[in-house]
Each structure stands twice: as C-alpha cells, then as structure tokens.
Structure 1
Amino acid sequence: MPVDHLKKKLQSIHLTAKDFHKVWKRACDTASKCIAEDKEYNKQRYDKTNMQPDLKKGDQVLESTLNFDNLMGPREMRDSFVTGEDRFPCRNKTYTPQDIVEVGDSTFLVKKILKARKIRLNGKDQRQYLVRFKSQTADKDKWLAEDAIPEGNLHLRIFRASRRSEQSHQ
C-alpha cells in the first residue's frame, strides 16, 4: 500500500504491546537479580564448607582410601604411592608373603561324596564321583574314580544310602 494512503496520526505500536514490553523487561530484570543473589549465596556457602587446609611441603597426611587396592581385604598401598622409610619413619614395614605350599591330593581326607556321573573312557563306561575334602573349599572338589577315593567303600555306602533316602522322601 502506498504511504500516502496511510493516516499520519496512527500509532506505530499498539498500546498493549508497549505494556507487554514493560512487563517483560521488569520480569527479566527481576530474574537476573535473583540469579545474581543466588550465585552470591552459593559462593558464601561453598567458601564456608570447603575451606582449604593450610599444608606445607613435607607435612605428613593420611591419603584417602581411594588409593588402596582392595578395600575388602588387606589394605596395601598401590606401588605408585609407596615411598621410602626416610620420609615416613613411623610407617610399618611391609613383608612379602611366602608362597603357599599346596599339599598333595593323597593327604586330603574325604569329607563326603556330592554327586555321581558316568563318563566314557577308552570305549568303556566308568563311574566318577565328585568328592569334597575336609577343610577345603568347594573349588578343590574333584571328580575321582571309585578306586581312587581314599576309604572309598565307606564313603560310597554313605552316599548311596543318602540318595536312597532322598528318593523315598519325594
């Protein structure tokens, strides 16, 4: 539309738009003021709770437990954090553990027989039994043939009797 046809006295911005602009500007100013106050408050709280200790070089400090290898077992320092005795004279001396000597299978005493299975060896079926040894953990259990079990007759009799009683109760 040509400019000549527009009335000269018309407003360029509607009155409600001017009021909306004032309200918007006031809301932005209030929000920025609140953010600045929150920043200042959080900085004060952080400064109060996170005070830096006044440590000097050479001071003895306790390192956090994150520097230990195994938190559930013996607590030994990782190699990167171990230093000489001249720096920490009160530190306990560490000793290297000796190798564990395993006792041969013949000295193990049979606690009980857990399971039985049949396997095929050299074209023949052979029965094997899962044997648990006294004072040994479950990972030391072994599958042994009937003749390889120490005092096998006694333990096999007990095992077969327990299996019969389990079947009769079912």
Structure 2
Amino acid sequence: MYPIDKEFYDMWRREFDSAARCIAEPEEYNKQRYDKTQKEPDFREGEKVLVSTLNSNNAKCPKRMRYSFVGTFTIIRLIGKNAVEVRLTEEFSSKHPVFPVILIKPYHQIGGGNFPSRNNSHTPKDTVEGEDSPGSLKKIMTTMKIILNGKDHRKFFVLCKNQAAEKD
C-alpha cells in the first residue's frame, strides 16, 4: 500500500465520520422532541373506533360536505404498534380493513345519563286546539331567544283568535 493511499483513506474516513455525525445529531434532536409530545396509541381488540376519511376518494359529494370520520367499527386485531385491522360494515366492504393508528380515533358513546335533556327536547306546537274565547292562542308565528340576567328566555310572537292583528 502506498503512503498516498493511506492519506487518502484517512481523509475519506474523517469526512465520512463527520457526515455521519451531521446526520445523527439532528436525528437524535428530532427524536427527543417527538418523543416528548407523542404518546403510544392504546387501542385494544374489541374496542369501537372511528376511521378518518382523509384518504378516502368519494367523488359523490364535495370535500367540504364529507364527514371527517366514519364508523363505528370494531377492532379485530392489532398489527404492531402502528396499524389496526377493523371489521368493516357492508357499506365499506370495498375498502381494505387495515388502517394506520393515525387515521383512527376512539369512539365515545354519548349516553342519556350524561345529557338527560337531549332526548326530551320540547318543541311548542304551531296551533293550539280547544278554547275559542277572545285572546286564546291561534298560532305561534315565530320565536326569539333572549338573555336576561344571564339566563336564556324564549319570546314568542303569536296570533290570537278573535282579536285584531294590532293587539297580537
């Protein structure tokens, strides 16, 4: 081996090591920053999830009218830490059942216990049957929501039976 070859090899090795350090240092820095904020997905088999429509190509409707997530689907199995296989419904049977966890979010069922008044919403009737005496309610024309002393109140504009329109 000639001395010039040894010098060239040493120079090449120093440059190679320097380039490797220049790549490794930012990789380590980025890994630390990512690991600080990222948490491991904690999905389990049998759990109900929603699937993102981000990569779905549905030409039937404009993009802004599509749902962000569809589902609910049940997880059949976990494929490593980064993918899950879900049981698709008949509507989505043409799709592949394996999705990355970044496109999955847990499904939270909202029960009646959390919001008991949701199912019992009361809507006033448009017409009132019964009394025909002057001043009795004939029809609710419109409603308006107003806030008095920090509380919500509804104001009703009505049409009364057997009265002039100015008095309504």
On whether the aligned pair clears a TM of 0.5, the verdict is no
TM-score by length of 1: 0.28
> Bigger relative contact order, structure 1 or 2, given CA contacts below 8 A and separation 6+?
2
Larger CA Rg, structure 1 vs 2: 1
Structure with bigger helix share is 1
TM-score by length of 2: 0.28
Structure with bigger strand share is 2
